[in-house]
Amino acid sequence: MGDEKGPAPIPLPSSPPDQKRSDRQGLTDIAEEAGLRRVHFVAWRDLQDPEAGGSELHAHHIASLWAEAGIEVTFRTSAVAGARAALTRDGYQVVRKSGRYGVFPGVAWDGMRMSHRPGDALVEIWNGMPFFSPLWYRGPRLVFLHHVHADMWGMVLPPGLARLGDTVERRLAPRFYRKSRIVTLSESSRREIVAMLHLRPERISVAPPGVDPQFSPGGPRSATPLVVAVGRLVPVKRFDELIRVLAQVRARTPDMRAVIIGEGGERSALEALRAELGAEEWLDLPGRVEDAELVSWYRQAWVVASSSQREGWGMTLTEAAACGTPAVATDIAGHADAVLSGESGLLVDQVEDMADALVQVLSDDVFRSRLARGALARARWFTWGATARRSLEALAQEAALHGTTDGH
């Protein structure tokens, strides 16, 4: 990972052994033809931030692959407590300064002073609160927008701030981004963005996230039924509701065990709920784990579960799928593309419906094996090389419209 941690879906080609070399050359060719030499990313959080999640991992994969292809990539994010203000990670430069909320005016101030040169471009990661890059950057520009936050604001902020966040996202910001090139993760998220933010569908591209090759089949399954869930311990993931569902499943499948992997502000509340339900014996909350351990959990699991209320995709579902593990997940935008219901897992309308779905998968060996084969086949469509290529193609189109190239 580097020197620090931290309509129907679009099919992507599988990867032959020399795919990495081919992907790198393809990215180089796209950048050279478009005259793209330097790309500036602006994002709320860094990969090393304690609250980093799928958005940060997605940006990291793209930035590192673009850098490997010869593009000079810089990242501007908020500061991380106890970490260096500047570093190099997997070939790209990272500058971390300003506080959790100060990063937004800080980036805008830096952007207004930025002198655009031929070959430069900007990527803004709009994660709830936008940076309003259309107001201060005039060169080729791309916006990663994974999903609409909508009711998430009320889950994490006091009522007044929640209303402000929702107003900015749904009423104010779209006025400035109507001409922007947007890249999102799934066709279902694209439809949601069009419906809720009223952005122009022809300006929104879809580039599904890849799956790292380390996520692959191997090793034995757990001897007893095992349910694994992965994600930041935050309200939108609804792990409290999932724990209650798991308690119901345990009552019907007495030898079931469960693991919820991740860290976040909801930990103490989830631990208290686990104690209240008498689930300490069969439910583990190990916190954030290293990649090798995460792969091991996916491989042992009989099924992976997600009760999330909002997702751009659901990367943990396709990571598990790449290990041959099917999913039971809520039928929301993002999940609807990551999981083919009845083929690579099951999608349910309500969290309460997850208990029946989980019991069905855990109790029927033939059905579970069929879903596992479907999950593995599904995951093979997704590579980070393809994600990076689709995103760079969208940025190259913007460069062509701006006519900002190095002699092209």
What is the residue type of 19?
Answer: Q
Q: For residue 116, what pLDDT is reported?
A: 75
Mean pLDDT score, 126-150: 93
Alpha carbon distance 56, 49 (integer Å) = 9
Min mean pLDDT across 106-110, 241-245, 294-298 is at 106-110
Q: For residue 149, what pLDDT is reported?
A: 85
- Classify residue 13: in a domain, yes or no: no
**Claim to verify: residue 269 and residue 234 sit in the same structural domain:** yes
Alpha-carbon torsion angle 177, 183, 185, 187, nearest 10: 80
**Claim to verify: residue 235 and residue 98 sit in the same structural domain:** no
pLDDT range class, residue 56, cuts 50, 70, 90: very high
**Claim to verify: residue 75 and residue 189 sit in the same structural domain:** yes
**Claim to verify: residue 116 and residue 183 sit in the same structural domain:** yes
393: how many CB neighbours lie within 10 A of its CB? 16
Quote the distance between the C-alpha of residue 53 and its chain's center: 7
Where residue 198 falls (left for φ over 0; alpha for ψ -120 to 50; beta otherwise) is left
- Classify residue 9: in a domain, yes or no: no
Q: Is the pLDDT of residue 16 over 50?
A: no
Q: How many domains does the chain have?
A: 2
- Classify residue 119: in a domain, yes or no: yes
**Claim to verify: residue 206 and residue 236 sit in the same structural domain:** no
pLDDT range class, residue 156, cuts 50, 70, 90: confident
**Claim to verify: residue 196 and residue 233 sit in the same structural domain:** no
**Claim to verify: residue 241 and residue 291 sit in the same structural domain:** yes
- State the distance between the two ends of the chain, measured CA to CA, in whole angstroms: 35
Q: Which residues pair with 141 in a beta bridge?
A: 122
Sheet with 257-261, strands from edge to edge, namely 283-287, 257-261, 226-230, 303-306, 327-330, 345-348
- For the segment 227-266, what is each residue's pLDDT rounded down to a tens digit? 999 999 999 999 999 999 999 999 999 999 999 999 999 9
- Classify residue 135: in a domain, yes or no: yes
**Claim to verify: residue 253 and residue 299 sit in the same structural domain:** yes
Instruction: Indicate which CATH number applies to the domain containing 94.
Output: 3.40.50.2000
294 Cβ neighbours under 8 A, 6+ residues apart:
230, 261, 319
95 Cβ neighbours under 8 A, 6+ residues apart:
74, 75, 76, 77, 85, 86
Angle at 24 between CA 320 and CA 184, to 5 degrees: 50
Higher pLDDT, 155 or 34: 34
Q: What is the domain extent for residue 85?
A: 19-210+383-402
**Claim to verify: residue 318 and residue 262 sit in the same structural domain:** yes
**Claim to verify: residue 391 and residue 360 sit in the same structural domain:** no
Q: Which residues pair with 226 in a beta bridge?
A: 257
**Claim to verify: residue 155 and residue 294 sit in the same structural domain:** no
- Classify residue 129: in a domain, yes or no: yes
**Claim to verify: residue 101 and residue 172 sit in the same structural domain:** yes
Alpha carbon distance 106, 87 (integer Å) = 19
- Classify residue 3: in a domain, yes or no: no
Alpha carbon distance 249, 260 (integer Å) = 15
Q: Is the pLDDT of residue 52 over 90?
A: no
- Classify residue 296: in a domain, yes or no: yes
- For the segment 314-365, what is each residue's pLDDT rounded down to a tens digit? 999 999 999 999 999 999 999 999 999 999 999 999 999 999 999 999 999 9
pTM comes to: 0.87
Quote the distance between the C-alpha of residue 406 and its chain's center: 33
Under 8 Å between Cβ of 363 and 373? no
- Classify residue 7: in a domain, yes or no: no
